[in-house]
Amino acid sequence: PVNVMACSKIAVLSGHTYAERLWCAWELFVVFAFAPEEAAERAVYLPLHEDHDGLEQLQRFDARNARCFDPNEQARLQEVILAVGIDDFNERVRTWARRAAPRHDFWASLPSILRVSEGAGFL
At residue 45, the pLDDT reads 83
Res 61 pLDDT > 80:
yes
**CA dist., res. 49 & res. 30, Å (int):** 25
Mean pLDDT within 98-121: 61
The pLDDT value recorded for residue 111 is 62
Name the band, by pLDDT with cuts 50, 70 and 90, for residue 106: low
How many whole angstroms separate alpha carbon 51 and alpha carbon 62? 22
